[in-house]
Chain A
Amino acid sequence: MSKVKPPVLEVDRLIDDRRTRVIVCCGSGGVGKTTTAAAIGLRAAERGRHVVVLTVDPARRLAQSMGLSRLDNTPRPVPFPQRADATAPAGTSASAETNAPVGTADEGTGLNGTPGGSLHAMMLDMKRTFDEIVEAHADPDRAAQILANPFYQSLSSGFSGTQEYMAMEKLGQLRRAEEWDLIVVDTPPSRSALDFLDAPQRLGRFLDGRLIRLLVVPAKVGGRAYLKVLNASFGMVTGVLTKVLGAQVLKDVQTFVSALDTMFGGFRERADYTYRLLRAPGTAFLVIAAPEPDALREASYFVERLAQEGMPLAGLVLNRVHRSPAARLSAARSLAAAETLQAADGKDADSHALTIAALRLHAEQMQQSAAEHRVAEHFTAAHPHVPVVEVPAQPDDVHDLAGLAAVGDSFRTE
């Protein structure tokens, strides 16, 4: 069987290209999406871009990995040391000092002639973002009425899809602000990577939908048309809903819907705007996966879906890959050598204990690496044109800028 070798994903080229304005990192949970997004953001900033990283993860992981104690709904500057070996493109005058001065995030041109990139990071507060949309679109009285509504409160903090919707909304806002030339988005930790594409429209459809309007019928003359569509069932619908949810819930929904009435349509328009933004030139999707069957299966779905939607896929980041520096020694030979030594040691105490341990570990590493290779090959066989970059497993957890920079170094194009 001939092995298909995927094209190399050149992340440095992607972030050096000034036309790249939005990078969306997606993938299933637990594959290191947040870390990857942060590492790409940092590397792009090191290479002279003005970057904001938007994370949506409630576990505050980006905050931890960027050494920030708090990330709220506004972009915060992340000071980072300018490293000589992150080498920025064209016209760089980066000094060879390893500990160059710390770049302040707000400065357009860096210190001492270093290429003046900057890095901001923010964590999405979905309720705050939702509140702001309401405040922007309704007069103060009505806004206050909406914000106090119990149904609104559960919608803005608990609705599945609100997080995704608000992430898209925030992305739209950041894009319109024109303060950054590159936005890196870390998508919400949903069970499936596809939720990110579907949820915003689902919320838009829901708020704009037939059923929710049906509920406002008593308050709206125009609602009669809907009554006709469903007239026989209408009583039954409200009857069942009242039984299941209680009359109070329906009343809250009705009040909410009539208060929000002027904003309807607005929701869907906003969702459509960001959806278009995702398809616009300048947006690049990166699918993140660990070399495991589940994660790569999700990655496959996502790649196919992006193609269907006409959204630009830049490639696959294969995270936490194990590679041995001594790959020329196969697992089988390594184990055999360990056994030979073990047999010899039988006579001679355990003089080779260290070597035996090293050989056994090496064999295990080689086996794991082979298993990872196999699942990665499955992906490439199905998607031979998708560029891939591998990020080696870090021996320790990434929890600071140095760790992020080390991850970023694996994006270097040779």
Chain B
Amino acid sequence: MSTRDTDWDGVRLHVVTGKGGTGKTTVASALALALASGGKRVLLIEVEGRQGIAQVFDRPPLPYEERKIAVAPAGDTQPSGDVYALVADPESALLEYLEMFYNLRHAGKALTKFGVMDFATTIAPGLRDVLLTGKAAEAVRRKKGARLVYDAVVLDAPPTGRIGRFLNVTSEVSGLARVGPIRNHADTVQKVIHSPESAVHFVTTLEEMPVQEVLDGIAELRNLPGGGIQVGGIMINMVRPLGLPPGQLEEVAGGSVDEHELATGLKAAGLDGSRRLAADLAAELVEHAVTAASQQEQRRRLAEPGQPCYDLPMITDGIDLAGLYRLAAALRDQGAA
């Protein structure tokens, strides 16, 4: 029950991708928190075995098990929400799968000891991805009685370079298993991922390469055979305020700073050696303006695909829990969740 509209009402599987170093896991965690606020239950899934979620939430390493890791703030009239986390690895997912379909858990354990599980997921690389996306699809559909167990699932997915492949499960597996249970499993996963209940969000910073990867990734998802996958929002991470009025930005970026004016100002503020200080601050100002101008350019490029963009502020002192809640609030304020 939502009391306000968000841009992604109806989406229950949020896949988060982005170039390495852009803060993908942090943003996925903030999104899970944002989605949970107002009494919701959200599952956050990690698939790359980095234990990044544990680090973001300042917890010891997480097992292959759905565990509550955070409480989202309560709304004015609503109760607080819960974020659960799951670190999914292909071997455990395969074991679970064998148990579910063949009642093979004991045999599976023996096989794990021989390295057969590792071997199976290795000789069929697509299998790994299907097992992981399958886990997310299963959580999205899981019900207890008539009620869905999770209101939303956030998947901290592989980086943009691999995302098309990771999500395009059926075609990946079709080369391997033409018939059989894995194929059926893949078809179910495919249905969930291609449905309007799923969306892929992109995390980026305002730098050329990460932005390029976002644009490439969006194009790739849109052009996938089978109707494409819904592209979600663009989360612009580590945004710093411009610090200068937009009109002045270009001027300063071009190198024109009135050092005399600066020196006068510094003197008025009672700072010594104002002349040399003015020159140094002017240099710093120009450098900042050049960066800011190039970031504005990246912003223009990000507008091209026509997807909503959300700004997440730069948190200078490293992300702690308080910082994470700030990012979650920013996402909610902008309607991302």
Contacts and interface: CB of A to CB of B under 8 A. Distances in A.
Contact of B120 (A241, A337, A375): A241
A246 B122 contact: no
A240 B111 contact: yes
Contacts of B181: 243-244
Contacts of B290: 395-396
Interface stretch (A27-35, A127-135, A216-224): A27-35
A189 B265 contact: no
Interface residues of B, number: 76
Contact of B175 (A150, A189, A290): A150
B90 to A, nearest CB: 11
A58 to B, nearest CB: 6
Interface string A149-183: 01101110011100000000000000000000000
B114 A237 contact: yes
B287 interface: yes
B269 A355 contact: yes
A397 B210 CA distance: 11
B266 A337 contact: yes
Contact of B111 (A189, A237, A333, A364): A237
Contacts of B239: none
A358 B285 contact: yes
A340 B268 CA distance: 9
Nearest to A35: B209
A181 to B, nearest CB: 30
Interface in B244-260: 244, 248, 257-258
Interface residues of A, number: 71
B41 interface: no
Contacts of B213: 59
B281 A59 contact: no
Interface in A81-96: none
Contacts of A361: 243-244, 284-285, 288
Q: A362, A367, A371: which has the most chain B beta carbons within 10 Å? A: A362
Contact of B98 (A30, A206, A240): A240
A76 interface: no
14 contacts: A30-B210, A59-B212, A154-B124, A211-B119, A240-B120, A244-B98, A245-B176, A246-B180, A246-B182, A293-B318, A340-B269, A352-B269, A356-B265, A358-B281
Closest 5 CB pairs of A and B: A30-B21, A29-B20, A355-B265, A326-B280, A337-B269
Given A243-B102, A355-B262, 17 more contacts: A30-B21, A154-B126, A191-B50, A233-B111, A240-B120, A243-B98, A246-B183, A292-B318, A325-B284, A329-B271, A337-B269, A352-B269, A355-B264, A355-B269, A358-B282, A359-B281, A365-B284
Interface of A: 28-31, 58-59, 61, 150-151, 153-155, 158-160, 189, 191-192, 206, 209, 211-212, 230, 233, 236-237, 240-241, 243-246, 248-249, 253, 290, 292-295, 324-326, 328-329, 333, 337-338, 340-341, 344, 352, 354-362, 364-365, 367-368, 371, 375, 395-397, 399
